Amino acid sequence: MVMTLEPPKFSYEPVNLTPNEYKSGVPPIWCPGCGDYGVLASFLKAISELHIPREQLAIVSGIGCSSRFPAFVEAYGFHGTHGRALPIAAGIKMARPDLVVVTVGGDGDAFSIGMGHIPHAIRRNMDLTYIVMDNEIYGLTKGQPSPTSPLGLEKKASPFGTVERPINPLQLAIACGATWVARGFSSKPKDLGELIKAAIQHKGFSLLQVMSPCVTFYDTYDHWKSITQPLPADHNPHDRLSALKYAMDDKTLYLGLFYQEEGETYDASYSAMRARVTKPDYGVREIIGKYMR
Ligand code: SF4
C-alpha cells in the first residue's frame, strides 16, 4: 500500500480554545523573570489564534531549561535527548504529516550538540517549525558559555573570558538556504506571537530565534532592550542578501521576518517519489534489474 505523505498542512477541524485551555496544568518551573515565560505565553496565544486542536499538535524538545516546554502545553509532547529534537520531530512529521510539529529548545541544545541536524533539516525543507530560545548561556547547568555567548564573556566556567567567537544563528540559517527565518524577543510578546503564527503557517522549515534572557546566570534584558529594533520597513524578506546583511549586523539586534520563500517540502518530494516507484513498472524486480546488474 502506498503511504500518502502530503495531506494539506491544516487538515484539522479548527477549534475555539482560549490560550489557558491549551495549558497542561503542569506549572512551569522556570526562575521568576525567565524570558521563557514570555515565549510560552506568546505560543499559547498563537496556537489559540490558529485554532489548532490539541490532538493535532506535537511539540518536541531536547534538553535544557527551555526544553521543558512540552510539559506545559496540552498537546502531544516529546522531551527528547540532548540536541536530538530535530530528528525526532522529523520522524514524527514523516509518520504523521497531518500534525503541526513544533520543535523547541535553547541555544546550547540547538547550536552545540544539535548543530549537525540544522543544515540537514534546512536542506530537506521539512515542514517543521523550530523555535530556539536563545539566552546566550547554558542555564540548566548553571551558567557555562554557550555557542552564542559573546566573545570575552566572563562566567564561572570562563573566568578569564571566552576565547571562542559566537555562532550567528540567522546568518547560518539564511546561508544554508532556509525558507523562513525570523527573530523575536520575549519582551515583545505581541510581535512574538505573530512571528510564531507565521512560522507555523509557513509550509517548510521555519527557524525562529527568540531572544529570551536567563535572569539567573546572564541577565541581558536591559542590554537587549537597548539594541533591538524592528527590521527597516523597506527590507524585502524575499531578498536573501538583504536578510544576510541585517542578520550580520553586530550593533543592532533586528527583530522580525528576515527571509521567506516558497519551496517544495521534503514530505511532498518524498510522497511524489513513493508514488513514482511503487507504480507497477517500478516494482522491486525492475529496480534491481535497472541498477544492480
Ligand atoms: Fe530561565 Fe536561566 Fe532560570 Fe533556566 S536558569 S529557568 S534559563 S532564568
**Number of other CB atoms surrounding residue 284 within 10 Å:** 9
Mutate to test the pocket of ligand 1, among 61, 135, 186 (most ligand atoms within 8 A of CB): 135
Cα–Cα distance, 99 to 102 (Å, whole number): 9
pLDDT at 6 over 50: no
The predicted model gives 74-92 an average pLDDT of 97
Per-residue pLDDT reduced to its tens digit, 129-169: 999 999 999 999 999 999 999 999 999 899 999 999 999 99
Cα–Cα distance, 46 to 57 (Å, whole number): 12
- 43's grid cell: 505560543
The predicted model gives 235-246 an average pLDDT of 98
Between the CA of 117 and the centroid of ligand 1 the distance, in Å, is 25
User: Cell 529570551, residue?
Assistant: 212
Per-residue pLDDT reduced to its tens digit, 182-234: 999 999 999 999 999 999 999 999 999 999 999 999 999 999 999 999 999 99
- Ligand 1 atom, smallest distance to 133 CA: 7
| CATH number of 226's domain | 3.40.50.970
* Confidence at 281, pLDDT banded by 50, 70, 90: low
pLDDT at 9 over 80: no
End-to-end CA distance of the chain: 27
Mutate to test the pocket of ligand 1, among 215, 219, 220 (most ligand atoms within 8 A of CB): 215
Q: Is residue 54 part of a domain?
A: yes
Q: Is residue 283 part of a domain?
A: no
284 vs 208: which has the higher pLDDT: 208
* Confidence at 3, pLDDT banded by 50, 70, 90: very low
Between the CA of 40 and the centroid of ligand 1 the distance, in Å, is 14
Q: Is residue 246 part of a domain?
A: yes
Q: What is the pTM of this model?
A: 0.93
Cα–Cα distance, 26 to 24 (Å, whole number): 5
Asked if residues 170 and 163 have their Cβ atoms less than 8 Å apart, the reply is no
Cα–Cα distance, 75 to 23 (Å, whole number): 9
DSSP symbol at 157: T
DSSP symbol at 214: B
Q: Is residue 292 part of a domain?
A: no
Q: Is residue 285 part of a domain?
A: no
Whose C-alpha lies nearest to ligand 1, atom 5?
139
- Ligand 1 atom, smallest distance to 212 CA: 7
Asked if residues 226 and 253 have their Cβ atoms less than 8 Å apart, the reply is no
Average pLDDT, whole number, for the chain?
Answer: 93
Between the CA of 226 and the centroid of ligand 1 the distance, in Å, is 21
Characterise 155 by phi-psi region: left (phi > 0), alpha (psi -120 to 50), beta (else).
beta
What one-letter code names the amino acid at 262?
Answer: E
* Integer angstrom CA distances of residue 155 from 63, 106, 107, 152, 158: 21, 18, 17, 9, 5
Asked if residues 23 and 44 have their Cβ atoms less than 8 Å apart, the reply is yes
* Number of domains, the chain: 1
Instruction: Look up the domain containing 235 and give its range.
Output: 19-263
Pairing of strands 180-185, 253-260: antiparallel
Asked if residues 105 and 138 have their Cβ atoms less than 8 Å apart, the reply is no
Q: Is residue 210 part of a domain?
A: yes
Q: Is residue 280 part of a domain?
A: no
Asked if residues 205 and 122 have their Cβ atoms less than 8 Å apart, the reply is yes
Between the CA of 146 and the centroid of ligand 1 the distance, in Å, is 14
Between the CA of 107 and the centroid of ligand 1 the distance, in Å, is 13
Whose C-alpha lies nearest to ligand 1, atom 6?
30
